[in-house]
Amino acid sequence: MSPSLSSISIFKRSFRRDGSKPADMVVLSARIITCDVDNPRAEAPAVDGERIVYVGDNRGAKDFIGPDTRVINAKRKTLVPGFIDNHCHVLWIGGLLGLMTRELFDCNNLDEVKTVVLDHARNNPDLPFVMGVGWRYDYIPGGLPDKELLDTFLRQ
């Protein structure tokens, strides 16, 4: 038997599914994206302490419900492992922060943004591109910077 199959077997045996060890929380009727190639979807997790002890169907999860278990009906909402931030800029977290100029938070007008962006580009000639974060909507025409706006920086 392969190591991964044996570890799955050990995992399944280590948690009783007869209600004798209820979980702290069970979520029912969810759409779970598991990130497991062999079992990409599920509908119910059970959590005991800080450990997920079950991921599968509603029927199996009900074995983990006891009198003190918090039961949540997800009403077919999606659960995704690992995302804990409700407003997450994936590119920042994914390692592109080093490409960004961070000083835009301190800019008070478009001329200051232009200076910071152009200085950052000049001081970092090896970067493939320059990213900015922290502008304010009130001094950017239309609220969001675009290619045309950045092109005007180079023409002035």
Please, what is the end-to-end C-alpha distance for the chain in angstroms? 68
> May I ask the CATH architecture of the domain 3-79?
Roll (2.30)
pLDDT at site 16: 54
Q: What pLDDT does 27 receive?
A: 98
Q: Which sequence spans correspond to the domains of the chain?
A: 3-79, 90-155
Beta strands 31-33 and 78-79 are parallel
One digit per residue, pLDDT tens: the chain, 156 residues? 444 333 333 344 345 555 568 999 999 999 999 888 898 999 999 999 989 999 999 999 999 999 999 999 999 999 887 755 556 666 666 666 666 666 788 899 999 999 998 898 888 888 887 777 788 888 888 888 888 888 888 776
* Paired tokens of 100: 């960004």
Distance, CA of 31 to CA of 41 (rounded, Å): 7
- Per-residue pLDDT at 14: 44
The pLDDT value given to residue 73: 98
Largest CA distance in the chain: 73
pLDDT score, position 120: 86
Task: Give the pLDDT of residue 137.
Answer: 85
